[in-house]
Structure 1
Amino acid sequence: MSVVGFDVGFLNCYVAVARAGGIETVANEYSDRCTPMCSFGPRNRSIGAAAKVVTNCKNTVQGFKKFHGRAFSDPYVQSLKENMVYDIAQMPSGTTGIKVREEEGTFHRTGHRHASHQVKETAENALKKPVADCVVSVPCYYTDAERRSVVDAAQIAGLNCLRLMNETTAVALAYGIYKQDLPAPEEKARNVVFVDLGHSGYQTSVCAFNKGKLKVLATACDPLLGGKDFDEVVVKHFCEEFGKKYKLDESEKLKKLMSANSSDLPLNIECFMNDIDVTGKMNRAQFEEMCADILARVEPPLQSLLEQAKLKKEDIYAVEIVGGASRIPAVKERISKFFGRKDVLCRYNAVGAQSCLRPSKSREFSITDAVPYPISLKWAFCCRGCDCEVFPKNHAAPFSKVLTFYRKEPFSLEAYYSSPNELPYPDPTIGKNETFLKLGYLHIKQTHS
């Protein structure tokens, strides 16, 4: 069996395999290395590129990544409903379901399952043999509940997820694994900043590199900032312009039609609504002025990143940016200006988890990740309760600690995130008793006596 890496984004997915001591991103059945994260169609179930070309937007689903581990009542899920072209519904368990083809009912996480099957088939076609083991990249700000949901989705698709890897760490690994000029282990580390601005999330990390190893010093993010925000500005602008100019006052329908075309919005659209041809104009200066509030959110995570790592701008050796929204010139300019340098490099190919494969198949490289949020334990003995922080923010991960409790009577033990204000998830609880022992990115061992 071969191990494959999946970089699963909000809009697209990349698949990679280890070959001849290196990492190769493989092509799908359309000879494209980028597979759209789409599922379903108007009549038949289609996946990937085949699903993207359908015209029935109501039954074509993208962005399953948004719903991992989240309840339908989650405020974040509810905030997404207004701008989605497909419908979501509450499942009996309280989780979020995606509704397609009403005659067949509601499907729960089915889109992600079928998409997982699609990328699995892509890997098998490239390797010419079955694939079961995989490594999957996830946003660094994902909580335990979201990580467990990703593992469940992989399992449903018949995949054994060996490891979840933070996307910023995977980018760093792809950067360092082929570098021949990294400092020796005993020398001062090389500090590199990675900025990932994708469709629906903004992540940054600073990593220290030495020959054969990397250590994540700190991460910072804005989970609500992404290319979608720039899309929505354009959608809102043309909704208002077309409404006034062409008297298209069906605002809700207009907004959904514009949203469906926001990824690559033309300024001239034939028979857009009510058999009316519409046309509009926008230049870069207008766009940047409309997006000023969004662009202002680029710098704060970068400032937080340096403060957490206790580094100055002159301590940074290089800055690498990835993600679809990093193509926006104003975004790159903001990042360049913040660090006071012009040599900010763009890497538009999503590298994801494909570098984290079995050492026998690729180069040896030691990875020390970081815990994104502080983790604490609390327990109760009779009527007395105690708690303590076990892993502070940016603590090395994976990492094991042994906790010994000398008790004769049963007691409860709960793990939780101890900084709920910075948590992009409504529930800080990780788990109780045995449920939290495997968190997806670290392990806790406990011994009873």
Structure 2
Amino acid sequence: MEKAGLAEFNVKIVESCLVPPCLPSPRATLYLSNLDNQPLVRTDSNVLLVYEVCENVLPDPAKTIREALSKVLVYYYPVAGRLRKKEDGKLQVECTGEGVLFVEAMVDKSLSVLGDLDQLKPSFKQLLFRFPSNTAIEDVHPMVIQVNHFACGGFVVAVSFQHMVCDGRGVGQFLKGLGEMARGHVKPSIEPVWYRELLKPKNIPVHDLELTKEKIESTSDSWIPLIYKESTQMSLTLDFETVKYVKDGIMLECLDNCTTFEIVAALVWQARTRVLEIPHTQNVSIFFAVDVRRSFNPPLPNGYYGNGVVAIGAQAIAHDVINQPLSYLVNMIKKTKMSLTNEYLISIIDTDQFLLDIYSNQANIILSDWRWLGFNEVDFGSGSPVNICPIYWNENGPNISNGFVFVHSPKRKCDAFKVIVWMPPQEFNLLEIEIEAITNKYVVNGSNY
């Protein structure tokens, strides 16, 4: 008998079409900020939203979502346009009104073949339409939506979006608005704000900042292990009780509050560095994306769906990452987050100096927290998704080998959350062992209090 979640399946495309706004939209060329043009977001991001059969089952999810899409694009009309390159290489959006690519597909099995999306099989990439990697940026649609009907009556909505046009929080806002239109709302409850000119360089000199050249150059180093050729997208499940034991122990050590993100970031940084057996004198960096909408003075307006994220990083030699207590790493991460002042943000936007290819050194870790982007609140009329999951593929398989993404666990596992990782299976197994060994110390000590 085939194990649930590990089965292969076939996806048949029923229809593929462009969905334009249902009303005429403005024709204009729109500015993209330096945050939209930073190197790290010149890529696409992808997410699967899983919907089980329920009492309020939609009779035709694809039709419902397609019609709602044409309505929500009246408010998000730039998403129906196309990216264009300027002479200086920067990107902008031409509002053409052409529309979002919409794909309807049928899957020959029930949702049970997906399991909890803890491990992705090659057939899973059929759920998501992606343009070939050599497609010119002018020919890539800012957003693609594929609705997959499963034999059981459940469905999966797969969304691919160009990160240059909107970040994860912006897409979450868009999808929640799409769901509202599908449920009969006249307009989205949050009015979208494009106004990227808010982040135009102001050319105000800022001094005494540990700025970009030194930090950028330090992201690449001499030791780069072999690129993973057979990475698999898998997930770690961390229950809240264990994380609470770790958090309580660390707060006793450092006499300061800390967040779950800071705890788990430190945990995976230490565990993965041990697994890779990195030379002890080697610098090891941890990078994470931070939402800076509220860090500006004044903050970016509610409804802003452009890129409001900046990647920042902390660095230590491998010996310290491996051997120092977890509280040491937590404090490093906390200090790094505190460095994102309004002055620092203005300076990197003005100078257009962002972290470059932080993925090139396999010793680095790159973290992203998807728990608060709103994907788990997207309701097309049959309730919110029972599971969400990022999915990344190139022609040869998953294309991230040092990324970690925090997501909510499936609804039936509400006492935990997941960390999506891309690693060879044998190294993933070692990572689980290391994390268990680290957390067990805190659990045992906590149980003795």
How would you bin the TM-score normalised by the shorter chain?
A: under 0.3
More contact order relative to length (CA 8 Å, sep ≥ 6): 2
TM-score (norm 1): 0.25
TM-score (norm 2): 0.25
From the CA coordinates, give the structure whose radius of gyration is larger.
Answer: 1
Q: 1 or 2, which has the higher strand percentage?
A: 1
